Chains A and B, each alone.
Chain A
Amino acid sequence: MKAWVLSSWTRWPALKRAAILLPPLAFAGSLSAASMAGDISAARQGELLYVLEQDCGSCHGLTLKGGLGPALLPDLLKDRNAEELAETILDGVPGTPMPPWRPLMKPHEAVWLAKILKKGDMVK
């Protein structure tokens, strides 16, 4: 118990610094996702979030509650880690309409989006 308190206490300053250095983001509570986004420029983050809402939203719903593609709500994604989800984003799902996004984004960008999905930051 004590070890946990200590480690979380010592990690705070680093996280805070990362948050201060990063440009303010439109969504709240995304500290861990944002802290991974160091090498994604603010402009690119904006683009990726727009694609997530508008273009992923074409099939998964603007509110990510599903459409032709399945819902992407945090509860439904909790059994898969962000790296696994990023693989699905990058390679698509053969035999379904889910296309590979690798031509349009880099692997670390897909991981960043997967973390946002897992946290539910985009869910309205």
Chain B
Amino acid sequence: MKMWAHLAVFMVVISPVQADSLRGTGDMGIVVERATGSLLVVENTTRTELARIEGLGDLSHASLVYSRDARFAFIFGRDGGLTKVDLLTAKIVGRTMQSGNSIGGAISQDGTLVAVSNYEPGGVKIFNSQTLELVADIPTGSKTVGLVDVPGNRFVFSLYDTGEIWVADMSNPKAPKITKFEDIGLLPYDALVTGDGRYYIAGLFGEDGMALLDMWNLDKGVRRILDNYGRGEEKLPVYKMPHLEGWAIADGKAFVPAVGRHEVLVVDTSTWQEVGRIKAHGQPVFVMAQPDGRQVWVNFAYPLNDTIQVIDTQNLKIIKTMTPGKGVLHMEFTPRGEDVWMSVRDKDVIKVFDTATFEQKSELPAKKPSGIFFTWRAGRIGL
């Protein structure tokens, strides 16, 4: 009898712990704290912080990708650090200083390879995603940007200084097969791939237009779209480079930031012709579609970075302008898009808004937050 009582107490004490120790990662994510070299592990169901991970070096312009089981994140730091963290234990499980200066990365279709694009020395390095051992080194002789994965265990990236797009086929990881496309335009600054992995599009800083590569028809080469969208008018100063990874395709249209113009450009994705331009509050940085494609959210470059605008994708009108605070650096939607999280750097908070009512639902403290990355990215091509 006494033993049973002991056992009952024992079970009451341990069972909640056991229940808590088993969990999925599908509603988890990471917020980059850029100035302190730390990460917040967050949960978007409860809108709470679960843990902080420190010791990641210079995280200005840091981004990350997830392992396909959505348990591990690979963080690409500005200082060339590649760090693997475990979301469930909130611990660093691997770290390598792989270059002097890096800009972003990607994970292969089969999940076995993590690629990092570097400014200095310019090129792409490819690592085993389990061990972070170097598998392949692809020097490019240029700052290398816009690195994404596409089907066929390939990586695609752009060469900023020389104006090229390279495709690296990693079917045999020991012997990458490189296909190069030259003269794609001046100063490609970032790129993206459509969600089906078919179209790779590099934004150009040096001229008005974008370079499009059809991955299904590589023999057709690179094609210019949105050519001369500025129509020769003088460009406005750009105090922060736009980003293209938050590609917005909605209702058969693509929404992209213009460079040096306070506009969002709208392109028909079947013809790749411009079908509209939306006058916006400032130089757009991220132009991001909700998961349902019904609305597109835009943030802006310094010094107009306290404002967010929301575009209705059917009538191409701005339906909402809000001012969450100075330094809105990034946004991320919950997996099915009922909420949007925003980093408000200068207020040291993350704000969470309802995407239907635009009401603020929650606020979480964070130190100089920048990128927010939820685990739904784990299964998406190009993210």
Contacts and interface: CB of A to CB of B under 8 A. Distances in A.
Interface of A: 51, 53-55, 57-59, 61-63, 65-68, 92, 95-97, 99-101, 103-104
For this complex, into which size category does the number of interface residues on chain B fall? Answer: 20 to 34
Contacts of B303: 104
Contact of A57 (B60, B101, B119, B187): B60
A58 B35 contact: no
Contacts of B368: 54
A120 to B, nearest CB: 16
Contacts of A54: 35, 327, 345, 368
A55 B345 CA distance: 11
Given A62-B35, A67-B61, A97-B189, A55 B120 contact: no
B237 interface: yes
Contacts of A63: 58, 60, 78-79
Interface of B: 34-35, 58-61, 78-79, 100-101, 103, 119-120, 143, 145, 160, 187, 189, 205-206, 237-241, 302-303, 327, 345, 368
A17 to B, nearest CB: 34
Contacts of A55: 239-240, 302
Given A55-B302, A67-B60, A97-B189, A61 B238 contact: no
25 contacts: A51-B302, A53-B35, A58-B61, A58-B240, A61-B60, A61-B78, A61-B79, A61-B101, A62-B35, A62-B59, A63-B78, A63-B79, A65-B58, A66-B101, A67-B61, A67-B78, A68-B119, A68-B143, A68-B160, A95-B206, A96-B187, A97-B241, A99-B239, A100-B237, A103-B237
